[in-house]
């Protein structure tokens, strides 16, 4: 257990919470699962065990993380569902309930990349990446909300949390990652939608866009090896935010946060920009162009797309 995880367990008690972390066999998900376990949660460690581009892999990363949690005295169970498979996602939710008696927090994190410039992207690259991320967020959450809604309607107190994983690519755009960026943008919006619809059932829903050295980014954006001393890009640096958002202490919903190192910031999404108008009549086509420039001139500059010149 790292010093960071000690702090998590000391500050925020997640004892008696049952937490599913998807894609928790490696990288960020593994760090989140360990942090939830350190805070006392019972954890379902999901991982399909695929390669960085989603191809079949042979090892069992979920079982290894379960063993790590058990070695620290925690409780965990492995799950090998493909999170974007409707029935497997449902069975994963049921496994949490059957094994630990309930489900309190769903952390959606699993995913992979198949990067390509949009002009050359294949249908398969589009479908597989949007499927694993977007459907891989909706399918588990859809089964979880059935359980939480039924409990709420039965009069049980529900203090449930959904924590989704977006990306800077989805919030700002990223050259060569159009499939991934579109899916991650949709996950940010899905989070807002879930929060708006599920608050009535006692479910708070937020999303995090992390930035860390994992096999997804090592050797591409970051060095393969961690530096000596403070490692700003250690995935475990993002986990305290995930644990707080997944805990009963979380009192915000419908928000998206970026986090890396020792920092976080909220991200504001689409806003109604400055209105430009011709008044109570239909604009002409020429006027439409002028109004476009008038509204843009009064609006903040959009953040640059990652990788754009
Ligand atoms: N690393 C970063 O800086 C960064 C930045 C932004 C967003 N993210 C997001 O964070 C999440 C975790 O990424 P990571 O960097 O830890 O990557 P990673 O490749 O280390 O871990 C992802 C895990 O998800 C699993 N997985 C893939 N498809 C699955 C499926 N269908 N069902 C179940 N498990 C599946 C993989 O086997 C793998 O263990 C991803 O959603 C990623 O897009 C990461």
Mean pLDDT, contiguous 10-residue spans, the chain (309 residues): 46 89 97 98 96 76 96 97 98 98 98 97 98 98 98 97 98 97 98 98 98 87 88 96 98 98 95 97 98 97 92
- Pairing mode, if any, of strands 203-210 and 256-260? parallel
Which residue minimizes the CA distance to atom 18 of ligand 1?
27
pTM score of the predicted model? 0.95
Look at residue 57 in the predicted model and tell me its pLDDT.
Answer: 67
Which residue minimizes the CA distance to atom 28 of ligand 1?
111
Active-site residue (options: 128, 166, 167, 174): 167
Determine which helix (DSSP H) or strand (DSSP E) holds 263, and give its type and residue range.
strand 263-267
Task: Please state the atom number of ligand 1 nearest to the C-alpha of residue 215.
Answer: 20
CA distance 178 to 187: 14
Between the alpha carbon of residue 170 and those of residues 134, 210, 217, the distances in Å are: 11, 11, 15
Superfamily covering domain 3-267: NAD(P)-binding Rossmann-like Domain (3.40.50.720)
Look at residue 219 in the predicted model and tell me its pLDDT.
Answer: 77
Other residues' Cβ atoms within 10 Å of the Cβ of residue 106: 30
Which residue minimizes the CA distance to atom 31 of ligand 1?
82
Instruction: Determine the distance separating the centroid of ligand 1 and the alpha carbon of 72, expressed in angstroms.
Output: 24
Q: Does 184 qualify as catalytic in the annotation?
A: yes
Q: Does 180 qualify as catalytic in the annotation?
A: yes
Which residue minimizes the CA distance to atom 43 of ligand 1?
111
Residue 5 has φ and ψ, to the nearest 5°, of -70, -35
Please check whether residue 32 is in contact with residue 239, taking contact to mean a CB–CB distance below 8 angstroms.
yes
Instruction: Determine the distance separating the centroid of ligand 1 and the alpha carbon of 157, expressed in angstroms.
Output: 32
Please check whether residue 49 is in contact with residue 27, taking contact to mean a CB–CB distance below 8 angstroms.
no
Please check whether residue 38 is in contact with residue 72, taking contact to mean a CB–CB distance below 8 angstroms.
yes
Look at residue 53 in the predicted model and tell me its pLDDT.
Answer: 86
Three-class DSSP category at 60: coil
Look at residue 220 in the predicted model and tell me its pLDDT.
Answer: 76
DSSP symbols for 105-150: EEE--------B-GGG--HHHHHHHHIIIIIHHHHHHHHHHHHHHH
Ligand 1 residue neighbourhood (C-beta within 6 Å):
22-23, 25-29, 46-50, 52, 54, 61, 82-84, 109-112, 132, 136, 165, 167, 209-212, 214-217
Look at residue 250 in the predicted model and tell me its pLDDT.
Answer: 97
Please report, for the chain, the start and end positions of each structural domain, with discontinuous segments joined by +.
3-267, 274-309
Among 63, 111, 172, the mutation site with the greatest number of ligand 1 atoms within 8 A of its Cβ is 111
CA distance 306 to 292: 25
Angle at 22 between CA 124 and CA 247, to 5 degrees: 140
Q: What's the order of all strands across the beta sheet hosting 18-21?
A: 75-79, 42-46, 18-21, 105-107, 160-165, 203-210, 256-260, 263-267
Look at residue 8 in the predicted model and tell me its pLDDT.
Answer: 45
CA distance 118 to 186: 17
Residue 22 has φ and ψ, to the nearest 5°, of -90, 150
Look at residue 309 in the predicted model and tell me its pLDDT.
Answer: 73
Q: Does 167 qualify as catalytic in the annotation?
A: yes
* Tally of CA atoms within 13 A in the half-sphere of 95 that contains its CB: 22
């Amino acid at each position: 257990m790292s010093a960071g995880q000690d702090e998590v367990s000391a500050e925020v008690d997640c004892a008696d919470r049952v937490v599913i972390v998807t894609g928790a066999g490696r990288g960020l998900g593994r760090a989140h699962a360990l942090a939830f376990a350190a805070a006392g949660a019972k954890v379902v460690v999901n991982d399909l065990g695929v390669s960085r581009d989603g191809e079949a892999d042979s090892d069992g990363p979920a079982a290894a993380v379960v063993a790590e949690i058990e070695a620290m005295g925690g409780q965990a169970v492995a799950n090998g569902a493909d999170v974007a498979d409707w029935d497997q996602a449902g069975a994963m939710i049921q496994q949490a309930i059957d094994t630990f008696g309930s489900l309190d927090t769903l952390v959606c994190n699993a995913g992979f990349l198949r990067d390509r410039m949009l002009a050359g992207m294949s249908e398969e690259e589009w479908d597989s990446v949007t499927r694993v991320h977007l459907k891989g967020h909706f399918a588990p959450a859809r089964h979880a909300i059935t359980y939480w809604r039924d409990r709420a309607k039965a009069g049980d107190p529900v203090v449930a949390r959904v924590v989704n994983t977006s990306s800077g690519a989805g919030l700002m755009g990223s050259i060569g990652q159009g499939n991934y960026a579109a899916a991650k943008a949709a996950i940010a919006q899905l989070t807002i939608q879930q929060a708006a619809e599920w608050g009535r059932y006692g479910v708070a829903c937020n999303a995090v866009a992390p930035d860390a050295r994992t096999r997804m980014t090592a050797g591409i954006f970051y060095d393969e090896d961690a530096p000596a001393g403070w490692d700003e890009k250690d995935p475990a640096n993002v986990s305290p935010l995930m644990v707080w958002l997944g805990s009963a202490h979380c009192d915000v919903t419908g928000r998206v946060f970026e986090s890396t190192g020792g920092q976080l910031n909220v991200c504001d999404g689409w806003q109604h920009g400055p209105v430009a108008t011709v008044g109570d009549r239909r604009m002409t086509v020429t006027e439409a162009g002028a109004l476009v420039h008038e509204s843009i001139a009064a609006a903040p500059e959009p953040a640059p797309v990652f990788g754009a010149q």
